[in-house]
Structure 1
């Protein structure tokens, strides 16, 4: 991994830890919202392929 990517990755990890430690309720809300977006996306992709297979 190039050094710039490694530095950015560490900065993101440190920021996430800081956000979780300073405001756990807000971090949980954000994570829950992000999880809902991902879950809905996967569900919609499944519906799309299911409707393709059904004709």
Structure 2
């Protein structure tokens, strides 16, 4: 059985490169949106623990 994880990783990398090369503006918008979601999640986790420790 081939190493499925490695194959999937290469497919994701190739797709990301294709997306960036064919439409860089859209790729930048998607990356920015994903970054906002991650940053918001980290901020909310921080608020949760801050509230938990004060409570």
Task: Indicate whether 1:41 and 2:25 are aligned.
Answer: no
Count of residues paired in the alignment: 54
Point out 4+ residue stretches in structure 1 off by more than 2 angstroms.
none
Q: CA RMSD in A?
A: 0.9
Offset at residue 35 of structure 1 (A): 0.3
* TM-score between the two structures when normalised by the length of structure 1: 0.95
Offset at residue 33 of structure 1 (A): 0.2
Separation (CA, whole Å) in 2 of partners of 1:48 and 1:10: 37
* TM-score between the two structures when normalised by the length of structure 2: 0.95
Question: Which 5+ residue runs of structure 2 have no aligned equivalent?
Answer: none
Task: Indicate whether 1:51 and 2:51 are aligned.
Answer: yes
